[in-house]
Structure 1
Amino acid sequence: MVLVVSFVYDVGADLLYGWLISSMGLAGNPQYDFGAALEALAAGAAVKFGISKGMAMLIYALYILIWAPIGEELFYRGYMYGVLQDRYGVYASAIISTVFFSIRHFTHFFFLTPNVPVIPGLWWALSVFPFGLLMVYAYRKTDSLHIPIIIHFLTNIVDALAA
């Protein structure tokens, strides 16, 4: 059930943001268009590291399919949520750990300084917040990080295919 909610929310949020950006005539502008901002990120990484844009995109794809589901779930749900829960309780720790999870997604675009695409970054941070809470729920419900890791992995695949 959590997987279905995750997919429906993720796809719906992406479609809504894309529609809003397109209807305002901002599609393709990396300062507003999330997909264009990710392409600018890949182009910036390619220049900085002396690799092709395609190679930069491949590295990023591996990052979101391998590191993100495992590393983020281990850190934000396994470690941070666990430590905070002992001190602040379930709800406060869910909110606090998810706020940090959301902020970290915004920081992807800091690589593009001084032209940080703030609007796509804020959208990403806001749109992953409910997802982070859903991952806390999955973790609490199963008392295992395996399910949040799998859901995170599958959600990132859906995002990668939709991009």
Structure 2
Amino acid sequence: MKITKAILLTLLVTVIYYIPQGILVLLVKYTNWDINLFNAMFDIVWSLSAVMAYLLVFYLFWKPKPHYSNVLDIDGLDYNLIPYLILIAIGLGFVGQPLWDYNRLIEYFQNANFQPYNRTYGELNFEPLYFMLGTLIIAPIFEELFFRKFLFSKLQEKYQLNLAIIISSICFSAIHFETPGNLLPSFIFGIISCLIYFKTKKISYSILLHFISNLCVSLINTRFGEPFFNWLDGLKYDLVYWAIFIFGILLIILGVKKITTANNTYSK
């Protein structure tokens, strides 16, 4: 697969994904549709449009067709490696925090009237379909299948490993354009996920890492966000703050090394 095709397929997935959501938004804008009904429908449309986008691209462009019975590579999964996936997810969170805080870092060092986080936090709520189905199931499975098992693998057939990893990770990062602060963290995640998939030849580890990472973010933002971010504010971006960043790098290195060297007999 050429780089241009990888980019165009990513764009195609994005367009297909947003068309139903755009139609729903237009219906609300030009009708008297109740906003509460819109919020409920949007969660459902978000999930269905994501599945539709990926499945359509898989059907049209994934050739030869994978064996769908074992496409997730669950057979032979070493569950003893899950703690290392958790370490990587935590490490990615620590490493990504300064990237999320980029604007706040500038504000802190340039503005004496630095404002602490001001967010509304609540109890973890498993009711929204977006959280349960979209963030924890659809995104980990379909994004890993598309960007790693399909896109990355096809890019490898034409380009060197490093370039295939970078292009796949850029495409993965690009679909998170709605949240600019997540572009670099997503790019880093893509690189780690590609490395794990390349070394293990099992997409199930990448899917599990994606699931754990999304779960950690959701837990922090919905359940533990206020004390966590207040604690970060108290650090004032001092040596402890950056020590956490370095600690995150070490956790990622440890986790990736353990997973990629645990067993050299993986098979697709």
Query: Structure 1: how far apart are the matches of 2:139 and 2:99?
Result: 24
Any conservation in 1 of the 2:85–2:208 contact (CA below 8 Å)? no
Deviations 1:61-108, CA, capped at 9 Å, x for gaps = 1201001100000000000001111011211110001000001011xx
Q: Does 1:59 find its partner at 2:129?
A: yes
Aligned partner of 1:8 among 60, 72, 91? 91
Any conservation in 1 of the 2:89–2:212 contact (CA below 8 Å)? no
> Equivalences for 1:1-163 in 2 at 5 Å?
1=84, 3-14=86-97, 17-18=100-101, 21=104, 23=108, 24-25=114-115, 27-28=117-118, 58-61=128-131, 62-106=133-177, 109=178, 121-163=179-221
Query: Structure 1: how far apart are the matches of 2:94 and 2:134?
Result: 20
User: What is the percentage of aligned positions where both structures have the same residue?
Assistant: 28
What is the root-mean-square deviation in Å for CA atoms of aligned residues?
2.8
- Greater shift, 6-15 or 71-80, is seen at 6-15
Label 1:66 to 1:88 Cα distance change in 2 as closer, same or farther (>3 A): same
Q: CA deviation at 1:2?
A: 5.1
Amino acid at match of 1:128: S
Query: Structure 2: how far apart are the matches of 1:60 and 1:125?
Result: 21
TM-score, length-scaled by structure 2: 0.42
Which residues of structure 2 form unaligned runs of 5+?
A: 1-83, 109-113, 222-268
- Relative to its length, the structure with more helix (as a share) is 1
Query: Structure 2: how far apart are the matches of 1:126 and 1:15?
Result: 10
Amino acid at match of 1:73: E
TM-score, length-scaled by structure 1: 0.66
Label 1:95 to 1:19 Cα distance change in 2 as closer, same or farther (>3 A): closer
Any conservation in 1 of the 2:145–2:203 contact (CA below 8 Å)? yes
Which residues of structure 1 form unaligned runs of 5+?
A: 29-34, 37-53, 110-120
Amino acid at match of 1:101: F
Could you list the structure 1 runs, at least 4 aligned residues long, displaced by more than 2 angstroms after superposition.
11-28
Any conservation in 2 of the 1:2–1:138 contact (CA below 8 Å)? no
How many residues are treated as equivalent by the alignment? 126
Deviations 1:23-66, CA, capped at 9 Å, x for gaps = 543745xxxxxx78xxxxxxxxxxxxxxxxx89x8122120100
